[in-house]
A and B are shown apart, each in its own frame.
Chain A
Amino acid sequence: MTTLLAVLALICLAPAVAAVLVRNLIHSALLFVLAWLGLAAFYLALGAEFVAFAQALVYVGGVSMVALFAVLLTRPGRTDLLPPPSAARAVGGLAAASLVASMLASSLFWSRLPSMEPTAPIPLRRLGELLAGPYLVAVLLVGLILTVALIGGLLLAAPRRPAEGGDA
């Protein structure tokens, strides 16, 4: 189990780190997609089947499309390569990130996590009963959030008509 998870962890982490360092924005977006797919595989290894497929469907099929369209619609035109970050910003950013990393590492390795038995994965029917039962209000609220985000995104990104302004 641990070796499988370690291999999958490497498959998730390598594209993510590469995506942050690469200069070409589209390569970066596609490497993020690889990282999300790796995470979906990781969730499958953890036994969360529905969440893994939902992650693949939403992130790889949805968020990646949104990001790629945004990249395409805002291209600088001259070249696709991004300028490297300035030295000051790079040093500052790395310092902040290493601070966070050291806090997380210390809390992880110097604490005593009790060794627990892995719980059994939840059958799909039980998940459905949970979503339609105790978590029904949350589901409806998330639906509302998604509808509002859809309409808001359309209104924000739509080009303004010259005279009347904003035809919905």
Chain B
Amino acid sequence: MILAVAPASPADAWLERAPLLLRDALTGWLPDALRPWVSALLSIAVILGVFGLLFAYMTLAERKLLGRMQNRPGPNRTGPFGLLQPFADAIKALTKEDIVPRAADRVLHFLAPVVLVALSLLGLAVIPFGRNLVAVELEAAVLYFFAAGAATELSIFMAGWASRNKYSLLAAMRALAQLISYEVPLLLSVVPVVVVAGSLSTTGIVAAQGGWAAGIWPHWHALTPWGFSAFAVFMIAALAESNRSPFDLPEAESELIAGHLTEYSGFKYALFFMAEYLGMAALSAMAVTLFLGGWQAPLGLLEFVPSYAWFGVKLLLLLLGFIWIRATFPRLRIDQLTRLSWKFLVPLALVNLLNGGFWAATADWSGPAAAVRWLVSALLVVVPFVALARSLAAGYGPRTYRYAPS
């Protein structure tokens, strides 16, 4: 039993080192020149496998949770509790006829989903999944992640244009407008994290969130006032960046057929779907790394649970939050969502920059000064939020409902 052995430090626990031991066992007998290549291939295979399964079961979880929130059971026919449903969906997508319009640009039409999935997967390379589990150790990892994410916008354009369909093109331009609008608050909300942690590397940011104040309050960024505001802005922008409800106008099935994906069928549509979920997972993983302490445990005595398990728990909580939000909020129109981004989220994120800078500059205040620090930071979050919200909502009075006479 793990508890009975009581290791000297959590990093030495057997479960914690299990992935590394496995990797060493698989590559130890190789010559020295081949070892880094095979090790890299192994990490790629593991990430693809884990996130592929995560995507498959996220689709099932979404359908069942949405169903339960809408008072219906969701898929429960294929396998016990519908657990084989993702595989049924995969078989359906693979065996559907792949229709390409005659006037479409075949090369771009084919490349768009491929490029989208490839770029969404690239972002996962710099996320630290556990104490020593990061695929690529980069000094400017956060910048790399957002560069990979920015390039996905191109494939949306390619999809909309290559279909040679007026409505696909309009929908692609609308989707691009949404993506570009929400790129700005996404990046701005990350800057205070970098300022406070003092590093652009994801492992450095996770290490900066270690330790507990008084043994019970973790130093995660989301548990500070500026970090909470940045986390909220990041999650809203992540919702929009992955085209999730309530920002899913580009692919709203009930409105525009399928927007820029109208002319896609079968496996290519499934690839777009996969890219959306992978983007969601990658952004959630980044949120866990930047704001929720990465693989750190929330309490000192819970450190016997391996670090990658904590990462998985936090990631799943965020993804379930995404699904919950989808079931709850109505869709936003394009002018409403661009207005939300430029007039509300960007000023809030800019004020939060100031807040983060203040927090970093006053890192050595302690005792009663620490209470002042928390109070000032909290005021810098609450006051602009209330002021902006009041001024933007002016003129939109309380709703009056008129019912038809019975």
Contact = CB atoms under 8 A, between A and B. Distances in A.
Question: Do A and B come into direct contact in the complex, CB within 8 Å?
Answer: yes
Contacts of A65: 153-154, 157, 176, 180
Contacts of A81: none
A7 B373 CA distance: 54
A57 B147 contact: yes
Contacts of B144: 53
Secondary structure dominating the interface of B? helix
The number of chain A residues touching the other chain, given as a range, is 20 to 34
B69 to A, nearest CB: 36
Interface stretch (B70-78, B135-143, B258-266): B135-143
Contact of B154 (A33, A53, A72): A33
Contacts of B280: none
B173 A57 contact: no
B169 A64 contact: no
B125 to A, nearest CB: 13
B147 A123 contact: no
A33 B147 CA distance: 13
Contacts of A13: none
A156 B259 CA distance: 29
A56 interface: yes
B318 interface: no
A10 B288 CA distance: 39
B138 A72 contact: no
B151 interface: yes
A152 interface: no
Contacts of A49: 138-140
Contact of B161 (A26, A37, A57, A61): A26
Nearest to A37: B151
Given A30-B108, A54-B143, A57-B146, A72 B151 contact: no
Nearest to B157: A68
25 contacts: A30-B108, A30-B154, A30-B158, A33-B154, A49-B138, A53-B143, A53-B144, A54-B143, A56-B147, A56-B148, A57-B143, A57-B147, A57-B150, A60-B147, A60-B150, A60-B151, A61-B151, A61-B183, A62-B150, A65-B154, A65-B157, A72-B161, A72-B173, A123-B139, A124-B140
